[in-house]
Structure 1
Amino acid sequence: MAIEFNSKYPSVDDLRTKAEKMIPKFAFEYLDGGCNEDVNLHRNTSELRDVQLIPQYLRDFNGASLKTKLFGIEYDAPFGIAPVGLQGLMWPNAPEILAKAAHKHNVPFILSTVTTTSIERAAELTEGKAWFQLYHPTEDRLRDDIINRAAAAECPVLVILCDVPTFGFRPRDIRNGLAMPPKMSVKNIMQVLGKPKWAMNTLRYGQPSFETLKPYMPKGLDLKQLGKFMDATFSGRLNEEKIKPIRDMWKGKIVLKGVASEEDAKEAIRLGLDGIIVSNHGGRQLDAGESTIKPLVNIAAKYGDQIEVMMDSGIRSGPDVARSLASGAKFTFMGRSFMYGVSALGNKGGDHTISLLKTELQQVMEQLCCENVEDLPKHLLIK
């Protein structure tokens, strides 16, 4: 098998280890941590890895293809880059690096409302192929303006977020005084001084900021004022009343991200949405909740023929992608895996991570003697 990535880092775990050495502790802990005691963070991956696949060695086999159709578009692999907030805090220019890599490899890149490049720049880098994830504003005027910008940028898919009705309780971030920009305590300054490459790149690209939101933010906000602005401007709590106007406005596909129950999946179908992402926000919101693989199995079985069912949270590798697809997901997304890659390898991190995941998934499919992604459920061991 041809190796198309840096052989020093042949796993996402290797990238994570390198990333921890490259970026300040407050940035790494923001990326790496969950909420409360991290129970659901670890449950996501451990329970996903309980899924077992069955090879069929003696069947005719003509090679494996990773190509996958989603919303009428053919992608080169059945995974994409999930929306992540504050990406430029973890590695300067990270969202642009990842958008370019996604476009090169023909996989979806989802831009978060609260990341550090703008809708327009992401669209430019992906030639209008970037998806946009809307963090719901409290004011209709602001909601409409952001949606119109995404439409003007020709984003094919609008992702609306339902799993942040309140901010997760994250002890590490509280201890680190994490905000945007980060609070520069003596401890944080010492962490920055210990990561010279990160510091130099931050100087080069400038202090990260919420680029999509800049037109709506008063100039010169200090940390306390910025927090008040964000609290007053956004409400993550969705319901039918908030979703219907978005469905009426948006002419493209709409995906609901953060679905963790059959009830919400059924409601998404009733409201005319095109897809759902079964997700628990990477274990960052509800520590007492289920892992994502548990509700995915039932939701996909019950509603997979009525709506496109996708999954994120807990997926770290090509085998994890295969496990998720075999369990009923049509498509998968990863956030941390790509951020580990960029934080570890800078400008080469996005390309490396996508190539690594493609190589891993290709090997799994060849080992299973599975020719097409949509056939992976046939290899699922039913316990």
Structure 2
Amino acid sequence: MAASHRHDLAQLNGTPRRRLYTGADLARARTIEDLRARAHRKMPRFVLEYLEAGAGEETTLERERDALAEWRFLPRTLTDESERDVHGTLLGTRAAMPLAVAPTGLNGIFRRHGDLALAEGAARAGVPFVQSTMSNDRMEDVARVPNLRHWWQLYVFGGEEVWQSLVDRADAAGCEALVLTTNAQLFGRREWYARTRATKTRPSLATLANAARHPQWTLRTFSHGMPAFVNVRDHVPKDRRGFFDSAFWIREHMPKALSWDMVAKIRDRWKRPFLLKGLLHPDDVRLALDAGVDGVILGSHGGRQAESSVSALDVIAPARAIVGDRIALYMSGGIRRGSDILKALALGADAVLAGRAPLYGLCAGGADGVHRALEILRDEMRNELGQIGAPSLAHLGREMLVRTDSLPLPSEAAQPAG
């Protein structure tokens, strides 16, 4: 079942005319879609394909949104809605909401020092930021962002000295948690993004021509040259440190036999909270629990890896049954609304990670745009809690949701109790 956005139900023959806000006044952005629309206005095509594209026919990308659309709230009424507390707890520490900014690589292509901007926006919003191994700002520089809860995402590539160096640097930088991505040792076929290149390392003429029509983006992003993978550059051969060459060299040297033995080695070296990201099979969740990690992040890598896979939301209930309250259970994928977060929590997640939503904010307005994206999600959560009659996040549960394929409700649901 495809997700449906029937905006036309409120229109007659195209009136009133409706447009998303794409202007520079971030306070006028009412939804994540407004920020997304501004990002599409400002960014060249190849950047948007990198940001938006999924693997293959993008069926997993579609599933992430469809899975959320398949659930409907059963609102309660005449409840106390005066507080609507949306604070969450991540790894035992209070956060402004149960959300972390997901790790995303190559953020320097959206804006120079994009990782610093994401970190600043997250810190202002009171949520953690997970910095990627493939980021374009040094982890030590990001670690100096005031009031930041800094997590480090780890890719394993090259010799063992590489991941050991990154883990030790993350420890020295004071990172709160380490997040090992498990489902990207072999990159998915991102066909639409690949079509923006003439060769493996050279953009097509059409791509260059389109980028030339965005001079402000070019000036803001490439005024000091192409972004570099500064956290791993020293581990790449000197003759492969160019922008494209380094990215493909790292991909080529990711071990295709990454295993639970490596998880055990990392667990032994890293003494702070350790999470595994990219799990979707309940058996892997069970193995993660046995491996002694502190949490798992269900997710499909934003629909950019396996094609036609389930979404994280589809797996929350069985994963919760496996882990109980012994480790943290997070999910990532498709978060665009505060109501999406509430659905994930009601189904059993402790928190969510959001990737594209804060990136739309980054494209729209740097650190201020990231903060605005997170502010929008938090405001929507508070409003929606009141709409469904839940005084706080603690009152959310599976009983507040019904799947669309279970509608209409059976008549026995209306029988009086007792």
For normalisation by structure 2, the TM-score amounts to 0.85
Q: Which runs of 5+ in 1 are unaligned?
A: none
Q: Residues 248 and 280 from structure 1, CA distance in 2 versus in 1: closer, same or farther, beyond 3 angstroms?
A: same
- Aligned partner of 1:147 in structure 2 is 167
| Distance of 1:17 and 1:228 partners within structure 2 | 31
Q: What is the one-letter code of the residue matched to 1:217?
A: V
| Rounded Cα–Cα distance in structure 2 between residues aligned with 1:205 and 1:115 | 16
Correspondence for 2:40? 20
Matches within 5 A, 1:322-341: 322-341=342-361
Residue from 164, 186, 208 that aligns with 2:205: 186
What is the rounded CA distance, in whole Å, between the counterparts of 2:398 and 2:391 in structure 1? Answer: 11
Offset from partner CA, 1:25-77 (integer Å, 9 cap, x none): 00101100101001110111111121122222123444111111121211011
Secondary structure class of the residue paired with 2:50: helix
- 1:45 and 2:65 aligned: yes
Distance 1:92 1:150 in 2: 22
Separation in structure 1 between the aligned mates of residue 370 and residue 198 of structure 2, nearest angstrom? 25
Change (3 A) 1:58 1:227: closer
| Distance in 2 between residues matched to 1:43 and 1:57, nearest whole Å | 31
Partner deviation per Cα, 1:162-220 (whole Å, 9 max, x = no partner): 1113110011122112999x734422221221112111102345421112112223335
Q: Is contact 2:75-2:400 (8 Å) kept?
A: no
Change (3 A) 1:178 1:28: farther
Question: What is the rounded CA distance, in whole Å, between the counterparts of 1:96 and 1:60 in structure 2?
Answer: 40
Counterpart position of 1:129? 149
Mapped pair 1:197 → 2:183: no
- The gaps in structure 2 that reach 5 residues or longer are 1-24, 407-418
Greater mean deviation of Cα atoms: 306-315 or 122-131 = 122-131
2:75 maps to a residue whose letter is: P
Letter in 2 for 1:31: L
1:65 to 69, 82, 85: 85
5 Å-filtered alignment, 1:258-337, equals 258-337=278-357
Q: Distance in 2 between matches of 1:226 and 1:178?
A: 18
* Residue of 72, 80, 94 corresponding to 1:74: 94
Higher relative contact order (CA 8 A, sep 6+): 1
Question: What percent of counterpart residues are identical?
Answer: 28
Letter in 1 for 2:377: L
Q: Is the 8 A contact 1:26 1:188 kept in 2?
A: yes
Offset at 1:256?
0.5
| Compared CA separation, residues 126 and 89, structure 1 to 2 (3 A) | same
**Structure 2 counterpart of 1:210, from 213, 226, 229:** 229
- Counterpart contact for 1:44–1:313, Cα < 8 Å: yes
Q: What SS does the corresponding residue of 1:299 show, helix, strand or coil?
A: helix
1:32 corresponds to: 52
The equivalent of 1:92 in structure 2 is 112
- Structure showing greater Rg: 2
CA RMSD after TM alignment:
2.1
Contact conserved, 1:342 with 1:349, CA < 8 A, in 2? yes
Matches of 2:251 and 2:316, distance apart in 1? 31
Q: Secondary structure at the match of 2:78?
A: coil
Q: Distance in 2 between matches of 1:269 and 1:237?
A: 20
Q: List structure 1 runs of 4+ shifted beyond 6 angstroms.
A: none
How far residue 226 of structure 1 moved from its aligned partner, in angstroms, is 2.6
Distance in 1 of aligned mates of 2:360 and 2:272 = 31
CA distance in 2, matches of 1:345, 1:34: 24
TM-score after normalising by structure 1 = 0.93
Using the TM superposition, give the Cα deviation of residue 318 of structure 1 relative to its aligned residue in structure 2, in angstroms.
0.7
Alignment CA distance shift 1:85-1:253 (3 Å): same
Question: How far apart, in 2, do the equivalents of 1:241 and 1:214 lie?
Answer: 26
Give the counterpart letter for 1:219 in structure 2. Answer: K
Task: Letter of the 2:276 partner, please give it.
Answer: L
Range 202-211 or range 149-158, more displaced: 202-211
| Counterpart amino acid of residue 216 in structure 1 | H
**Paired residue total:** 378
